[in-house]
Structures are given as structure tokens and as C-alpha cells.
Amino acid sequence: MINHRRPILVLGATGRQGGSVAKALLKARWNVRALVRDPAQPVSTALRGQGVDLIRGSLDDVDAMATAMTGVHGVFSVLPSNLPAEDEVRYGTAIADLAAESHVDHFIYSSGASVGNELTGVPRFDAKPHIEAHVRKLALAATIVRPLIFMEMLVRPGFGLEYGRLTSLIRPDHSMQLIAVDDIGKIVAALFADKSRFSGITMRIAGDRVTGHDLQTAFSEVAGNPITYARFSDEVLAANADLAHMASSLESGPLAEPADLNLMRELNPELLSFRSWLASRDREVLDAVFGRNSEVDHSGGLCR
């Protein structure tokens, strides 16, 4: 039987995935500890207000991380975006090593759904598979999750919604799986609740599957005016290696490999479809997305 009094250490708790995991673990009555770089920043003080035990430290600070792992039941590890590949691998493997040395009962690493069976030879695409392989080698009860594309990514500025169009990675009649950031936390909490079932497992996690046409319809309904959907042009993809890599992976690579949505619903009965996620957004925030109120910082608001 799991002892909920021993805490779970959440890395990146002031960010999207870690914040979602901390929230869901608190709801499931776990004691939650977070390693934060700045305990005085508003997101950190909000976490403390919700009962999270804050330890000051950064990924560079091995002593702070070892302290943060002392006596914990579990660790949720997620690395920040846009780290140089060598730093991502160095941090990701060091965190897992420390968890093994600290005899952590259950370690969950959030990897990426673009990880497949083959390395690409491009360091920034291969950092997560390297970390995954390292985690699997350790004497550590570990679960690896590979979240599909965040729903929140579709409403960031710069993809055309403010001009009545959405440009993204799939062809209009193709589909992709998406996940709401809030659901990542709920799924991870369900995995921590059942170590014997989920340790040693790697799973893609998602909440819904949508086509480009579905996105066009859903956004048009919420906007109250037509939103047209298109894939990035071939010229744009040719000029941007990261976008091209994702588009090709969604067509016939690892990003096209599905998460088991029935299992996702079992783990999280509140799993959000894209439509229900969109309907749950604040009107003011959506107005900003559609270019009707530029005063609102919609990227932050939508990730709550």
C-alpha cells in the first residue's frame, strides 16, 4: 500500500507540465515537494499557498536536488524546453541517477511523443531517447510518459488565429492526437497511484484525436466567424527543420503512433476532448486569441 505521507518531488512545478502534476497530486492527497529556482516568484508562492513544500535549487545544483529527493516516495522529472541537447541529456540522466541513489520508489519521466525506435542523428531530437534509455538501465521503478501535442500549443500567437486562420502541422484531412496540459497531471497522478501496474512501462499520453477539418470547425464555432485551416506551406517547412521534422513525424513517424485513448479515459475519467478543452477557456482569453483584446496575455492564461 502506498504511503501518501511521503512526498512526491515535482520538477518544473512552476511550468506547464510540473504545475499540472503538482495540482493533480495535491488533489489526490499526496504531499508535494517542488524544486524551484525562485521561491519568491508569484507562481512559487501560489504553490506554497496550496501546500507545496518548496526547496530552492536549480537543475545545476546537485546538492539541492539530493536534498529535495531525501525521503520522497516519487519524483516527476520534466526538463525545460529549448535546452542545448547536451544539457538536456546531462540533467535528465543526473536526475534519474540521483533518484536511483536516493532509493525513490517510483520515478516518472516526461519524455516526448516524437521519440521512436530509431535515433535521428540530430542531437536535439535524440536527447529524450538518450534519457529514456538511461532511465531504463537503472535499478529504479520508472514509468516514462510521452505526451502528444499540447492543445495549448494551437492557440499560441503567430499561428494565424487572430487573422481568421489556423496554420499547423497536419494536412486538413489528416489527424493528430492532442492532450490538454491539465490532463497530463491527472494521468501522471493515476500512474503514481499504481506503481505495480505502471512501473517499467513507456506510454504515449493523449486526450483526443482531431483532423485539420475538426480544428477548423471547432475554432470557427468558438470564434463566431470562419477560421480556415491549412498546413504550413512546403516553403515554410523547407525553411524550418524543427517544423518539418514534426510534420513528417505526424505523417508517418512516431508522432503518428497513437496513445490508447481508452486507457487514458480509464486513468483519467475527466479526460478533455479538444472541444471540451476549448469550451473551458475563459471568454476573455479566447477573445485575445482571436485578436479582439490584445491587452490579455493569452499564452499564460490558456495554460492554467
* Residues in touch with ligand NAP (CB under 6 A): 12-18, 37-38, 58-59, 78-81, 112, 147, 149-150, 153
CB of 201 to ligand NAP, least distance (A): 19
Strands 106-110 and 32-36: unpaired
CB of 200 to ligand NAP, least distance (A): 21
CB of 231 to ligand NAP, least distance (A): 17
Q: What ranges in the chain are assigned the alpha helix state H?
A: 16-27, 42-49, 62-69, 85-101, 123-137, 181-192, 195-198, 212-223, 234-239, 241-252, 261-267, 274-279, 283-289, 298-302
Q: 80 or 226, CB closer to ligand NAP?
A: 80
Q: 126 or 287, CB closer to ligand NAP?
A: 126
How far is the C-alpha of 109 from the C-alpha of 11, rounded, in Å? 10
Integer angstrom CA distances of residue 74 from 3, 8, 21, 69, 116: 11, 4, 12, 8, 26
Q: 58 or 294, CB closer to ligand NAP?
A: 58
Residue nearest ligand NAP, Cβ-based = 15
Q: Could you tell me which of 185, 149, 180 has the C-alpha nearest to residue 281?
A: 180
CB of 267 to ligand NAP, least distance (A): 18
CB of 232 to ligand NAP, least distance (A): 16
Contacts for 31 with CB less than 8 Å, ≥ 6 apart:
4, 5, 6, 7, 8, 51, 53
Q: What is the CA radius of gyration of the chain?
A: 19
Q: 16 or 298, CB closer to ligand NAP?
A: 16
Q: 57 or 74, CB closer to ligand NAP?
A: 57
CB of 170 to ligand NAP, least distance (A): 13
Q: 14 or 175, CB closer to ligand NAP?
A: 14
Strands 175-179 and 208-211: antiparallel
